[in-house]
């Protein structure tokens, strides 16, 4: 049962071949058995899950069910969940029990999905390896000595290890797509504003976006259908109709007439040779499906990481100023005065990567440096976005590697922040431009999964999902199961 996709489970639930309660029970047992080693979950909410599952069974019987009713999922621990600890992977929020549900949590629950718990993540979503979590690193199901990627590493590992068929993630610079690539699953970062950020702990508000992680594009379509849509509580959420994503995947079909651009800059230095070869074989699959694949240019691509490490830390330093040890979260013992209370609560509550980013952000926003760093970065951000606009006048989608290497070893990049940051060289520009991006399994190198990234024009999620779905109808990389997880 655990190897089935959401679409398959949905059919079984609707036929009555399995009940939501049996399914939840089976996966909770699987989590208990396997997650001690993986560490994909921070909190498992068995009791709440079984109650939700029984309610789902009632809806399935009474004919009020949606395609997600009774489907077990997990939420990245960045989404507020009423009555359940919402830690964001940080000691700062270890004591925090959210007083409300995030919109994403609310919508998936309303559709009848059953949440089994909260998944591990890099602290405050800052990291590309899931090693900065206060709750310890997550292991990659394909090789326990390697990272699952980050920051949505717990969600990625849980889906890859068949603990849940789907999970939520968030992506500020690659945090859905990079772990999806490194664990061999499918993950979608929607257009900025497509999914509400309300109740999602803020990291960099002009970049953050929530999205689905699952094993197939079809399952991502089902999850996105419930997650997307206007929410008046998020002032940046876009009021625009949500298309029928699954309808775009109907039938067998091909990709005749689809123009795919491969940015030359994404295949240049920094890319592992074997990963490149794997990506090129995947591009051949797209050609065989009838797509026209041609080279395009993104001349400012090399500036994305530098720009990001001004803007994201600047926004983070401002967003994380709210953690003051006064209203909620961690507080130090016996503060001498108010400044001591702030400084020690924050020093104890935040780990080293979060401190680095807060300090970089504080520096680039400080008097005398604002124009040289922050304003300059916002200008270069526009140049990067304009590159994409030009590319989309020639092609419908962009394709390339999601990450320059396969999963790296635990500890390998932890002491060198800049090397860690370069794990996201192909994903970051997509957030800066606000475009939708998807990573799907494209093959293996030395037993480790490789992801192909597809990028679409604004609000073209359906086109991304359709292309990935056709690829998955023609290949079986997404069906490969990590050792010990079958």
Partner 1 sequence: MNLDRSSVERIAHLARLALAEEDVPRYVRDLSRILDLVERMGAVDTRGVEPMAHPLDIPQRLRPDEVTEEDRREELLGLAPQAEAGHFLVPKVID
d(CA 274, CA 53): 44
C-beta separation of 120 from 167 below 8 A: no
Q: Which of residues 402-441 bind partner 1 (CB under 8 A)?
A: 417-418, 421, 431-434
C-beta separation of 404 from 423 below 8 A: yes
345 is catalytic: no
Contacts with 327 (C-beta within 8 Å, 6 or more apart), sequence order: none
List 18, 46, 289, 341, residue binding partner 1 (CB under 8 A): 341
Q: Residue 263 in 3-state DSSP?
A: strand
d(CA 302, CA 441): 25
Q: Which of residues 350-389 bind partner 1 (CB under 8 A)?
A: 350, 352, 355-356, 358-360, 362-364, 366, 372-373, 375-383, 385
Catalytic option among 19, 128, 133, 151:
151
Q: Within 13 A of 236's CA, how many CA atoms are on the CB side?
A: 15
Catalytic option among 10, 19, 76, 118:
76
For partner 1, the closer of residues 17 and 326 by Cβ is: 326
For partner 1, the closer of residues 346 and 440 by Cβ is: 346
Q: Which two tokens stand for residue 157?
A: 């590992």
* DSSP code, position 372: I
C-beta separation of 228 from 107 below 8 A: no
For partner 1, the closer of residues 65 and 80 by Cβ is: 80
Q: Which of residues 211-250 bind partner 1 (CB under 8 A)?
A: 232, 235-236, 238-239
List 347, 394, 409, 484, residue binding partner 1 (CB under 8 A): 347
Minimal CA–CA distance to 132: which of 165, 92, 163?
Answer: 92
For partner 1, the closer of residues 225 and 317 by Cβ is: 317
274 is catalytic: no
Q: How far is the CB of 480 from partner 1 (least distance, A)?
A: 35
d(CA 211, CA 189): 5
Q: How far is the CB of 211 from partner 1 (least distance, A)?
A: 15
Q: Which two tokens stand for residue 427?
A: 């994903």
In sequence order, the β-bridge partners of residue 143 are 140
118 is catalytic: no
Q: Which of residues 38-97 bind partner 1 (CB under 8 A)?
A: 95-97
Q: Which of residues 121-150 bind partner 1 (CB under 8 A)?
A: none
How many residues of this chain bind partner 1 (CB under 8 A)?
A: 75
Minimal CA–CA distance to 153: which of 142, 164, 169?
Answer: 169
Catalytic option among 175, 317, 345, 423:
175
Q: Which of residues 168-207 bind partner 1 (CB under 8 A)?
A: 191-193, 206-207
Q: How far is the CB of 54 from partner 1 (least distance, A)?
A: 27
From first CA to last CA, the distance across the chain in angstroms is: 10
Q: Residue 241 in 3-state DSSP?
A: coil
For partner 1, the closer of residues 418 and 486 by Cβ is: 418
Cis peptide before 151 (omega within 30 of 0): yes
Q: Which of residues 268-327 bind partner 1 (CB under 8 A)?
A: 300, 302-303, 305-307, 309-310, 317, 321, 324-327
The verdict on 3 binding partner 1 (CB under 8 A) reads no
Beta strands per DSSP E along 6-109: 41-44, 72-76
For partner 1, the closer of residues 24 and 80 by Cβ is: 80
Catalytic residue numbers, as ranges: 76, 151, 175
């Amino acid at each position: 049962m655990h190897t089935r996709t959401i679409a398959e489970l949905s059919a079984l639930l609707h036929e009555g071949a399995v009940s939501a309660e049996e399914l939840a029970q089976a996966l909770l047992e699987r989590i208990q058995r396997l997650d001690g080693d993986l560490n994909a979950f921070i909190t498992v909410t068995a009791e709440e899950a079984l109650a939700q599952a029984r309610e789902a069974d009632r809806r399935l019987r009474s004919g009020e069910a949606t395609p997600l009713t009774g489907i077990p999922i997990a939420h990245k621990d960045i989404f507020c969940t009423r009555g359940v600890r919402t830690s964001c992977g940080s000691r700062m929020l270890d004591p925090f029990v959210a007083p409300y549900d995030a919109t994403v949590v609310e919508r998936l629950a309303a559709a009848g999905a059953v949440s089994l718990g909260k998944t591990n993540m890099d602290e405050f979503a800052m990291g590309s390896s899931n090693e900065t979590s206060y709750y310890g690193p997550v292991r990659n199901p394909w090789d326990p000595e390697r990272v699952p990627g980050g920051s949505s590493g717990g969600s990625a590992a849980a889906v890859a290890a068949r603990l849940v068929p789907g999970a939520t993630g968030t992506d500020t610079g690659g945090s859905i797509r990079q772990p999806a690539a490194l664990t061999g699953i499918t993950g979608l970062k929607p257009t900025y504003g497509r999914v509400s950020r309300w109740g999602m702990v803020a990291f960099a508000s002009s970049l953050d976006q929530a999205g689905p992680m699952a094993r197939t594009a079809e399952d991502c379509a089902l999850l996105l259908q419930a997650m997307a849509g206007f929410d008046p509580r998020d002032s940046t959420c876009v009021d625009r109709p949500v298309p029928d994503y699954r309808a775009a995947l109907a039938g067998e079909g091909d990709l005749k007439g689809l123009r795919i651009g491969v940015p030359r800059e994404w295949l240049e230095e920094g890319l592992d040779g074997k990963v490149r070869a794997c990506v090129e074989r995947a591009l051949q699959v797209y050609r065989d499906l009838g797509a026209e694949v041609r080279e395009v240019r993104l001349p400012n691509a090399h500036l994305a990481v530098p720009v990001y490490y001004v803007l994201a830390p600047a926004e983070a330093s401002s967003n994380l100023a709210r953690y003051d040890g006064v209203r909620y979260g961690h507080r130090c013992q016996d503060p001498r005065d108010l400044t001591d209370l702030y400084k020690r609560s924050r020093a104890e509550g935040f780990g080293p990567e979060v401190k680095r980013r807060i300090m970089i952000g504080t520096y680039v926003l400080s008097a005398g440096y604002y124009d040289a760093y922050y304003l300059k970065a916002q200008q270069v951000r526009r140049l990067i976005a304009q590159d994409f606009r030009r590319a989309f006048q020639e092609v419908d989608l962009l394709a390339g590697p999601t990450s320059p290497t396969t999963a790296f070893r635990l500890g390998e990049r932890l002491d060198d922040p800049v090397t860690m940051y370069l794990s996201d060289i192909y994903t970051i520009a997509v957030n800066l431009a606000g475009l939708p991006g998807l990573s799907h399994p494209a093959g293996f190198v030395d037993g480790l999964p490789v992801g192909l990234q597809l990028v679409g024009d604004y609000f073209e999620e359906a086109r991304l999902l359709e292309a990935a779905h056709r690829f998955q109808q023609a290949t079986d990389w997404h069906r490969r199961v990590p050792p010990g997880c079958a």
